[in-house]
Amino acid sequence: MPSVVPSVPQARPWDVHRLPRARGKSFLVTGGNAGIGYFLAEQLAGTGAVVVLGSRDRAKAEDAIASIGSRVPGAKVKHLPLDLADLASLKASVEALGLDRLDAVVHNAGVALDRPPRRETADGHELMFATNHLGHFALTHHLAPLLMATPGSRIVTTGSFAAKSERLDLDDLQSTHDYQPKRAYARSKLAQMLFALELDRRLRAAGSTTLSVLVHPGGALDSLTPSRPPIHVRTTGERLSRLPLGLVVQGKDAAAWPAVRAVLDPGVRGGQLLSPRAFGLRGTPRTEPLWNHIADTTTAARLWAASCDLTGTDPTFTAPDRVRRARRPGA
């Protein structure tokens, strides 16, 4: 009698329109009051999780919370005052979270300047590098205890397609000598991507269950983005005029999908890069092979050391179980 081979259940393909429930979990989205961050927060709120919008602007955050509440019945969304360009304020912001655990943080907030002059923060750092990279680097340091207290927590970092053709100048990380705004922006996003992968290597070496996942949203246009007044208003004329571009790029609602998957998909692994399926520009999220230059461990390690010096922080994780064993008498 022929033997019967039991069937192996197949994992259901990831569906951006049927997200898993996440009731009881807490997620922090930096820059969650506008753009891609808003749609990321709206979609995560639909899972039943508590979603915290990290934002400098309370009025805009309140508008975003009201908009999400009008579309997601029972949404649990709140605002956290957060200024990534002010390094000294970040510890107090994390303390104000009022949480004893954090299931995921999405490093989404960003500044993009398109013309001179070069601008600096109060700490003397170039504004885009400070906000996009250094602020998130330091924020991760302050969030580490909450993330370590949450088995399987995730740190999701938003990179950019603009970083694909750039290289870091480790001798001029802050564009002091040759400031070109678009290049400075792309390099700040490249720094974020290198950080995310170096963080994953350090988490694995520490035996931590926290994952560091990298995403990039592809191409996103306001004219292809659904209206969310007063946060974003799209006219019919704008939508119709840009419809042909929908074959190449997408709206900011769809651009949020890679980060949503990075937060929620149980099959996601640390060190992965998630991006839109069609040429990295539009479509449902998929895992993409790492670009060669973001997998450069030497550059990443040097950037990490420089970031520690510039921020006075070091987001190094130690797995709680290892800490307990180390403290055990006779260990």
Q: Tell me the DSSP string of 56-124.
A: S-HHHHHHHHHHHHHHSTT-EEEEEE--TT-GGGHHHHHHTT--S--SEEEE-------SSSP-B-TTS
**What is the rounded distance in angstroms from the CA atom of residue 269 to the CA atom of residue 273?**
9
Kindly report the CA angle at 173 between 303 and 128, in degrees rounded to 5?
Answer: 105
CA-atom Rg of the chain in angstroms? 20
Report CA torsion sign: 198, 212, 280, 245. negative
Q: Taking a C-beta distance cutoff of 8 angstroms, is the pair 80, 30 a contact?
A: no
Catalytic residue among 27, 137, 185, 317: 185
Max CA separation in the chain (angstroms): 81
38 catalytically annotated: no
Sheet holding 104-107, edge to edge: 76-81, 50-55, 26-30, 104-107, 154-158, 211-215, 273-278, 282-288
**What is the rounded distance in angstroms from the CA atom of residue 187 to the CA atom of residue 165?**
10
Report which residue type is found at 155: I
**Which sequence positions are flagged as catalytic?**
185
